[in-house]
A and B are shown apart, each in its own frame.
Chain A
């Protein structure tokens, strides 16, 4: 029986933010600090351990001008019997507006068209941006007047779940996996949520009474991480926005949701959420997340290949900005309803 050799190759690339001010009506510069890490995933086979060769991760420009994305992907096909790899995507801040939408587009494209497994860690955006779930209704979830007045961008994403307001203090972690990737995991919401919480339990290791409460990551009964998923026939995505820190003023743009978890007990935003920074340094959180993922995923040989952008394929993502007109119309409809108008 061969000895089990765990090979981890981790490459951290830190990009630098550049602030950009856009003169566009919805101007906001979103910076992304990307972190690309290649991890190894070693799946023990019964009475058989698999070792993987150590190979370099060679980032290549993704093909967007003012390059913001570095994708590391295997040129090699999966070898039968070998464990699937987990690829990390580097995100470097781009000065063009709509970069968060771009990230979500790429996540959606990877979910729909890639046969690989991915982990994407994004280190925040620039200006506050509201991100609603698949079926979110602006009039029910947002203080639209304030949102329009302050020109806060609003995105409708392709995954389910609730509404968050994110900024440079938010950390995003995304896992995109083939449904067979995690042994014994049924591709349904609750098992995936449970799997994710077991991974993050390794990150927090008892700190702050971390646990998954209903569908949120909490310390005690205070939420610091919101989750959302999308499940297709063969793959699933689970992404989390972690409240590293937040500006209390931003919470004023959000209404109390009708569909709230029971443990919220009608608490206001500020009584309900907490800051991750009060429990763990930012770099420690990212390092430990990478380390935890490394206990389940292994690095495969990686050579870069060109990754096709959304514009180069027939894939059309569903994530998009809501226009001012749409938001205003939603607010008007509610007003008419309240006045009893047809």
Chain B
């Protein structure tokens, strides 16, 4: 994680850019992708355990967003819909929507993120989890990407830009 952050920071500090397209990012997908999780194209992950699915944003996402300074999360008891936003993260100058990979009822929200939003950067798959949901459709989980597919997706996305 530290090496990735250093590589990304160095690239930014050196202002490495192409002459014609200075906004191209040269950081490639050094991000961690965990087996056993499912992934959405909008870079959220889902961990399904029993009747509950835990959701957060991936290492790739947090790396590209930068230091997270604020997290907006919904209240427990609400619902989420596949592909729709349920919250937002703020990183320095930008708010970015976080979208739910699945539909269901929110049963728990990670309250630690209000005081320690940086957990999303330091531990995106563990302490940086965002909400826990009771899924309403098992088919939605199956339609998500596995780890290999998501790794390839990230590589192709970074390579195309």
Contacts and interface: CB of A to CB of B under 8 A. Distances in A.
B21 A229 contact: no
Contact of A233 (B70, B93, B97, B157): B97
A53 to B, nearest CB: 28
What DSSP secondary structure best describes chain A's contact surface? loop
Given A198-B23, A232-B85, A188 B65 contact: yes
Interface in A175-193: 182, 184-186, 188-193
Contacts, number: 92
Interface string A142-163: 0000000000000000111110
B85 A188 contact: no
A190 to B, nearest CB: 7
Nearest to A188: B64
A122 B59 CA distance: 38
B64 A186 contact: yes
B92 interface: yes
B32 to A, nearest CB: 18
A194 B17 contact: yes
B99 A191 contact: no
A163 to B, nearest CB: 12
B24 interface: yes
Contacts of B69: 135, 259
A231 B93 contact: no
B22 interface: yes
B90 A191 contact: no
Contacts of A158: 95
Contacts of B111: none
What DSSP secondary structure best describes chain B's contact surface? mixed
A227 B99 CA distance: 24
Contact of A134 (B25, B90, B161): B90
Nearest to A235: B97
Contacts of A135: 69-70, 72, 90
B110 interface: no
Give the size category of B's interface with A: 20 to 34
A194 B65 CA distance: 14
Contacts of A228: 93-94
Output the residue of A158, A162, A233 with the most chain B CB within 10 A.
Answer: A233
A216 to B, nearest CB: 9
Contacts of B91: 160, 189
A8 to B, nearest CB: 21
Nearest to B11: A190
B66 A189 contact: yes
Output the residue of A135, A189, A190, A233 with the most chain B CB within 10 A.
Answer: A190
Contact of B24 (A133, A184, A193, A231): A184
Nearest to B64: A188
Nearest to B12: A190
Given A185-B161, A232-B85, A161 B23 contact: no
Interface string B20-40: 011111000000000000000
B99 A133 contact: no
Nearest to B88: A134
A94 interface: no
Interface string B47-87: 00000000000000000111001101000000000010100
B123 interface: no
A195 interface: yes
Output the residue of A160, A229, A232 with the most chain B CB within 10 A.
Answer: A160
Given A134-B90, A227-B93, 5 more contacts: A133-B90, A134-B72, A193-B93, A233-B42, A233-B99
12 contacts: A134-B70, A134-B88, A134-B90, A161-B92, A185-B161, A186-B157, A189-B96, A190-B25, A215-B93, A228-B93, A229-B94, A231-B95
Interface of A: 133-135, 158-162, 182, 184-186, 188-195, 197-198, 215, 227-233, 259
